[in-house]
Amino acid sequence: MADIILETERLLLCKPAEGDVTLHYRLLNSVRVREYLGGPEEFHQVEAQHAKAIASFAREGFGFMMVTEKHTGELVGNCGMKRVDALAAPNVGDHEIGWIVREDRWRRGYANEAMRAVIEWAFQAIGVTHLVALTSERNVPSWRFMEKLGMERRADLDFLDTSRDSPDNSTIQYSLTKAQWEAAS
pLDDT digits (tens, 9 = 90+) for 128-143: 999 999 999 889 999 9
Where helices occur in the chain by DSSP H, the ranges are: 20-27, 43-60, 110-121, 140-148, 178-184
CATH of residue 43's domain is: 3.40.630.30
Q: What DSSP state is assigned to residue 122?
A: I
Give the count of domains, the chain: 1
> pTM for the full model?
0.94
Range of the domain at 57: 4-184
A 10 A CB-CB count for 59 gives 10
Q: Rounded to the nearest 5°, which phi and psi values hold at 104?
A: -75, 0
pLDDT tens for residues 54-91?
999 999 999 999 999 999 999 999 999 999 999 999 99
- The answer to whether 123 touches 181, Cβ cutoff 8 Å, is yes
113: Cβ contacts below 8 Å, ≥ 6 apart: 8, 9, 10, 11
